[in-house]
C-alpha cells in the first residue's frame, strides 16, 4: 500500500469522502508507522512518507470510516533523559475521534519488565490495546439551535451518562447506560420537570479501566483516566464502537438542545491514563514524552504530578497546549457542546504552587474565538503545597465554589461562628469574585457533587463507609461536614428521619435561593444513597447508580425540588447578575437592595455579626432594588422577600421587620412542612385560606428548629 503525501494538518485521521489523511506530531521520532487492522486483527504497516514541522503524515485513498488503526513510533529510548520511544508498543492516536475495543492489561503494554524495571520490554502490545477508528464527520444537525442560556438563568445538573440511565425503568434495556439513554424522552422529561438548563456530564472522553481496579473486580466509574481527548467513551454507546459512538453522542446533544438543555463536559486535561514512570506506554508517552508531559527537570525519568494521578500534561509546550485547545474546539464545533468543567483546572496553570493568572493556558483561552464564547467552569482546588484555590481565576471563568459547599454544610448542622461566612456565600461570595471584576454568577454553588456524600448520605452518616472500594476504608475524605442526626445510617426512628428530610429540604432551598449558579447532583432530588460511600469512583454498580424506584418512594422530595427551582426561575431577585450594595440599608427614605435582621426584628449590627452562636437570621431582599437590566436595557423589578433561616436545635419566634419593609407577608416556602407556593399562585385573599401563613409587619412567626421560611411581600 503506497500512501500519498497528504497534509500535516489537521492532526489525527481526517476522512474527506474519498480517503483519509493521517497526521501525527512527534519531534523525537525518526519515523512513524501507521498500523491498519482488519476485522480479524491482522496488521498492515505503512510508513508515513512525509514530515513537516515534526508532523509525520500521509494520505491513503479508499480508507474510510470504520477503519481501525494505531501508530508505532521509531525513535530514541532513554528514560533517564525522558525519551521513551519503543516501536514494539502500538500507540493510540492522541487525536483519535473514536476508539474500539477494551484494554487487556498485559505486561507488553509496559516498556519494562515487571520483574526487572531496568530491562526494556520489546513484546508487541498490539493484541492488548484498543484501536483507533476513522470516523465520518457528516451528521444532519437539522435545525438544531444551541440554547445559549445565560449564567444567571442556569441550573446545572451534574450527572453520569451511565449512572443516571442504567436503571431507568422507562428507558429500553438496550439503551440504558448510553448516550441514547440520556436522550430518551423519559430522561428529558425528568430534567425539564426539575427546571434543569444544563447537564454537566462526568467524563465522556475515552478512558480506561485501571488494571489495579480490575484486579479487585472493580471498574473506573467516574472516568478520570483519559486516553482519548477527542473520542466519546465507547462504553456508553448503544449502537456500536466503530464510529457509531460519535453519531450517537451527536444525536444526544441534538435531543438535549431541542429540550432547551445545554451540554457541559467534565474534561480531564490535567493527566492521562499513562500514570507515572512505572505506568504503561499507551499514547503520548511513546509519541513524544518530552513535549506532552511535564517532567522533573533534574530527573526527567520522573513526572511532575499536580493531580495525584501520576502525571501532568505539559501546558507550557505549544504542541501539548495545541492538543488541549484542538480538543476543546472539536467538542464545540463538531460535537456542539456548550461548555466545559475542567478537572483540577489549576493544574493546567501552575508554574510553581500558585495558579498563574498569566499562564499560557489562560492567555490562549482568553483569545480563542471559539472557546472564549462557551461556558468555562474551573474546579479550582489542587493537590500539593499550593493547597486550596478559589477565586483566583480570570474574569472569563466561573468556579465550583467549595467554600459555599463547606459553609452551607456547617450552617445547617449548627456549627458556631459561621453566620458571617454564610451570609457572604448565599449572596454570591463577593469577597472571592468582586475584586477581580467577576459577578455573582462566577460562583457555581453546590453542596454535593460526585466527589463526596450524596445529599441523603450527608444527613445520614458521620463517617465514610468505603469498604466496597477494597482499600480498607483509607480512601475518601474523612471530614465531610456531615451529620447523621443521632444514628449512623438507616433508621426507623421517625423523629430522626423527619429531621433528615427537613435538612435535605433546607439545603436544596438554600442552594436554589442563593445568588450564583446552582448545581444539583444527580439523584439528590429523589434521595439517592451510596450507603455512606463518599468516594464511589470505582463503583460501577448499584452503589453509585441512580435507583429510580426512589422517584416514587420520595415523590414529595422530587416535587419540592422542582417547585423550589421553579420559584427561582420565576423570580429574578434570586438570580441577580450584580452583587448586592449592602449596608447601610437606607439612603434617605429609600430602601436599599438587602437588609439583615436579628430574630427580634432589628437590623443587625457589627456586634450581631460577631455573635459566636449566631444561627438565626432574617434577610430582606428588595424586589425594587435590583440593579440588573433585561436584554432590552430596562430595569428589572420583582416581588420582595424575607428569607428566614433557623439553624438552632429549637424553635425560634422571629419578628417580621417593620412597616417600612412591607405591611403583609405570605409564606411561600416552609421547609418544616415541605410547602411551596407556586411562583404564579396568588396569595390568599383576606379571610380566605390558612391565615396562619399570612403575617403582618412586626408580628412574630415561629421558625421550627432547623428550618427555613421564605415569605413574599403581598402588601407594601
> Active-site positions?
343, 379
The SS3 assignment for 527 reads coil
Residue 26: all three cell numbers together = 512527534
Helix or strand or coil: residue 581?
coil
What is the Cα–Cα distance from 287 to 299, expressed in whole angstroms? 20
Angle at 76 between CA 71 and CA 82, to 5 degrees: 100
Q: Decide if 281 contacts 274 (C-beta within 8 A).
A: yes
What cell numbers appear for 207 in the block?
478512558
Q: Which residues contact 326 (CB under 8 A, 6 or more apart)?
A: 10, 11, 95, 230
Report the alpha-carbon distance of residue 51 to residue 323 in Å, rounded: 18
Instruction: Decide: 300 and 81 in contact? Cβ < 8 Å.
Output: yes
Residue 110: which of 100, 96, 97, 124 has the closest Cα? 124
Q: CA-to-CA distance for 641 and 225, rounded, in angstroms?
A: 46
CA–CA distances in Å: residue 286 to residues 12, 53, 92, 289: 16, 19, 10, 6
Cα separation of the two ends of the chain: 83
Asked whether the beta carbons of 504 and 455 are under 8 A apart, the reply is yes
Q: Where are the alpha helices (DSSP H) in 544-691?
A: 550-553, 555-570, 606-609
Nearest Cα neighbor of 343 from 450, 266, 414 is: 266
Q: What are phi and psi of 372, to 5 degrees?
A: -70, -10
| Beta-carbon contacts of residue 22 (< 8 Å; ≥ 6 apart) | 6, 12, 13, 34, 48, 57, 58, 59, 60, 69
Q: Is there a contact between 241 and 234 (Cβ–Cβ < 8 Å)?
A: yes
State the DSSP code for 629. Answer: B
Overall size of the chain counted in residues:
716
Q: Helices (DSSP H) in 418-554: which residue ranges?
A: 419-426, 430-433, 455-458, 494-513, 550-553
d(CA 8, CA 4): 12
Reply yes or no: is the peptide bond before residue 93 cis, omega within 30 of 0: no
Longest dimension (CA), the chain: 90
Residue 420 CA neighbour count, 13 Å, CB half: 11
CB 312 within 8 A of CB 294: yes
Cβ–Cβ < 8 Å for 346, 381? yes
Dihedral of the alpha carbons of 75, 79, 81, 82, in degrees to the nearest 10: 80
> Could you give the CA distance from residue 213 to residue 196 in angstroms, rounded to a whole number?
34
User: What is the helix (H) or strand (E) element at residue 632, kind and residue range?
Assistant: none
3-class SS of residue 320: helix
How many angstroms from the chain centroid is the CA of residue 672?
31
Spatial strand order in the sheet of 12-15: 12-15, 19-25, 55-61, 50-52
| CA dist., res. 637 & res. 623, Å (int) | 5
SS (H, E, C) 393-430: CCCCCEEECHHHHHHHHHHHCCCCCCHHHHHHHHCCCH
Amino acid at each position: 500500500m503506497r500512501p500519498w503525501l497528504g497534509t500535516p494538518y489537521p492532526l489525527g485521521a481526517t476522512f474527506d469522502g474519498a480517503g483519509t489523511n493521517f497526521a501525527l506530531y512527534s519531534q523525537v521520532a525518526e519515523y512513524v508507522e501507521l498500523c491498519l487492522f482488519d476485522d480479524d486483527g491482522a496488521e498492515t504497516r505503512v510508513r508515513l512518507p512525509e514530515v513537516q514541522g515534526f508532523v509525520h503524515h500521509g494520505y491513503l485513498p479508499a480508507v474510510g470510516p470504520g477503519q481501525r488503526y494505531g501508530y508505532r513510533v521509531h525513535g530514541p529510548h532513554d528514560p533517564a533523559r525522558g525519551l521513551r520511544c519503543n516501536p514494539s508498543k502500538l500507540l493510540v492516536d492522541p487525536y483519535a475521534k473514536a476508539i474500539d475495543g477494551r484494554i487487556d492489561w498485559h505486561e507488553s503494554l509496559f516498556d519494562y519488565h515487571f520483574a526487572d524495571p531496568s530491562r526494556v520490554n520489546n513484546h508487541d502490545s498490539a493484541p492488548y490495546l484498543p484501536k483507533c477508528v476513522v470516523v465520518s464527520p457528516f451528521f444532519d444537525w437539522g435545525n438544531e439551535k444551541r440554547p445559549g442560556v445565560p449564567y444567571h438563568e442556569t441550573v446545572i445538573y451534574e450527572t453520569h451518562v451511565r449512572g443516571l440511565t442504567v436503571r431507568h425503568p422507562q428507558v429500553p434495556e438496550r439503551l440504558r447506560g448510553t448516550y441514547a439513554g440520556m436522550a430518551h424522552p423519559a430522561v428529558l422529561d425528568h430534567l425539564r420537570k426539575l427546571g434543569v438548563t444544563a447537564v454537566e456530564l462526568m467524563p465522556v472522553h475515552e478512558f480506561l479501566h485501571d488494571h489495579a481496579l480490575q484486579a479487585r473486580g472493580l471498574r473506573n466509574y467516574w472516568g478520570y483516566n483519559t486516553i482519548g481527548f477527542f473520542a466519546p467513551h465507547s462504553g456508553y454507546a448503544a449502537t456500536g464502537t466503530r464510529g457509531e459512538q460519535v453519531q450517537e453522542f451527536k444525536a444526544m446533544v441534538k435531543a438535549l438542545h431541542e429540550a432547551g438543555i445545554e451540554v457541559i463536559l467534565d474534561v480531564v486535561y490535567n493527566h492521562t491514563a499513562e500514570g507515572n514512570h512505572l505506568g504503561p506506554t499507551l499514547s503520548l508517552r511513546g509519541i513524544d514524552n518530552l513535549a506532552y508531559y511535564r517532567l522533573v527537570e533534574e530527573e526527567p525519568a520522573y513526572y511532575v504530578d499536580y493531580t495525584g494521578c501520576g502525571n501532568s500534561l505539559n501546558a507550557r509546550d505549544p504542541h501539548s497546549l495545541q492538543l488541549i485547545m484542538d480538543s476543546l474546539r472539536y467538542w464545540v464545533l463538531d460535537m456542539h457542546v456548550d461548555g466545559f468543567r475542567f478537572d483540577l483546572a489549576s493544574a493546567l496553570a501552575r508554574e510553581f504552587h500558585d495558579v498563574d493568572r498569566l499562564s499560557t493556558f489562560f492567555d490562549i483561552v482568553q483569545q480563542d474565538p471559539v472557546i472564549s464564547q462557551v461556558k468555562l467552569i474551573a474546579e479550582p482546588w489542587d493537590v500539593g503545597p499550593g493547597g486550596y484555590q478559589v477565586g483566583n481565576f480570570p474574569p472569563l471563568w466561573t468556579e465550583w465554589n467549595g467554600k459555599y459547599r463547606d459553609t452551607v454544610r456547617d450552617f445547617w448542622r449548627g456549627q458556631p461562628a459561621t453566620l458571617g461566612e454564610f451570609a457572604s456565600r448565599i449572596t454570591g461570595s463577593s469577597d472571592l469574585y468582586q475584586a477581580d471584576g467577576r459577578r455573582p454568577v462566577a460562583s457555581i454553588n453546590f453542596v454535593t457533587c460526585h466527589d463526596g456524600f450524596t445529599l441523603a448520605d450527608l444527613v445520614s452518616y458521620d463517617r465514610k463507609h468505603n469498604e466496597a472500594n477494597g482499600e480498607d476504608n483509607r480512601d475518601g475524605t474523612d471530614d465531610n461536614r456531615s451529620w447523621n442526626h443521632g444514628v449512623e445510617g438507616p433508621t426507623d426512628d421517625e423523629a430522626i428521619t423527619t429531621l433528615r428530610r427537613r435538612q435535605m429540604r433546607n439545603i436544596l432551598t438554600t442552594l436554589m435561593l442563593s445568588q450564583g449558579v446552582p448545581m444539583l447532583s444527580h439523584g439528590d432530588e429523589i434521595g439517592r444513597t451510596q450507603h455512606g460511600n463518599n468516594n464511589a469512583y470505582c463503583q460501577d454498580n448499584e452503589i453509585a447508580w441512580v435507583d429510580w424506584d426512589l422517584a416514587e418512594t420520595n415523590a414529595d422530595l422530587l416535587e419540592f425540588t422542582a417547585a423550589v427551582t421553579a420559584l427561582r426561575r420565576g423570580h429574578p431577585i434570586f438570580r441577580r447578575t450584580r452583587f448586592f450594595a449592602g449596608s447601610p440599608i437606607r439612603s434617605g427614605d429609600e430602601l436599599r437592595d438587602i437588609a439583615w435582621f436579628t430574630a427580634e426584628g432589628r437590623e443587625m449590627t457589627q456586634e450581631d455579626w460577631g455573635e459566636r452562636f449566631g444561627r438565626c437570621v432574617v434577610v430582606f431582599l428588595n424586589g425594587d432594588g435590583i440593579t440588573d437590566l433585561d436584554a432590552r436595557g430596562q430595569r428589572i423589578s420583582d416581588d420582595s422577600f424575607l428569607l428566614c433561616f433557623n439553624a438552632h436545635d429549637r424553635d425560634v419566634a422571629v419578628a417580621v421587620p417593620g412597616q417600612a419593609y412591607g405591611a403583609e407577608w405570605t409564606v411561600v416556602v416552609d421547609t418544616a412542612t415541605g410547602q411551596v407556593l407556586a411562583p404564579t399562585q396568588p396569595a390568599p385573599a383576606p379571610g380566605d385560606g390558612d391565615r396562619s401563613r399570612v403575617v403582618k409587619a412586626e408580628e412574630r412567626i415561629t421558625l421550627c428548629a432547623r428550618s427555613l421560611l421564605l415569605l413574599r411581600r403581598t402588601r407594601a
